[in-house]
Amino acid sequence: MKTFHKKISRKKLYKEYVNILNGNLQLSFRETEVFSVLLQLYVEWNSMIKTTNNILSTDVRRELMRETRIKKTNLARYIKGLSDKGILLPTENGGYMLNELFIPDIQEDSCEVMFILEM
């Protein structure tokens, strides 16, 4: 098995993680930007998000728009794109949560991703 290593700062972790996954997901530049900020907010605001059971609550959307400088109408388009690709899953209360498959498993100072390519 071949192993590739890349040293990055913790600040760039989510952006790099999404860039690695993007080879498979085929997201647009803005979708990758929205996805990486959502991952960061999910980790940083985990208790609030789990309480509301909605990754796209008003507070999260405001922070997302502020970080990415995307307007509300355009954000809705990117959210729909992420939902169509299975990254965001609808909840029973009408909100959305991140698909557990796409949440990075961070162990101390590393995050590992394994790809299996079947032929």
Section 62-72 average pLDDT: 93
Residue 2 lies in a domain: no
Domain count, the chain: 1
Residue 32 lies in a domain: yes
- The pLDDT value given to residue 5: 85
Domain that holds residue 29: 10-111
Place of tokens 């307007």: 71
Residue 116 lies in a domain: no
Residue 20 lies in a domain: yes
Q: Does residue 55 have a pLDDT over 80? A: yes
User: In this prediction, what percent of the chain has a pLDDT beyond 70?
Assistant: 100
DSSP secondary structure code for residue 9 in this structure: -
Angle subtended by helix axes 29-44 and 13-25, to nearest 10: 130
Residue 5 lies in a domain: no
pTM: 0.88
Residue 41 lies in a domain: yes
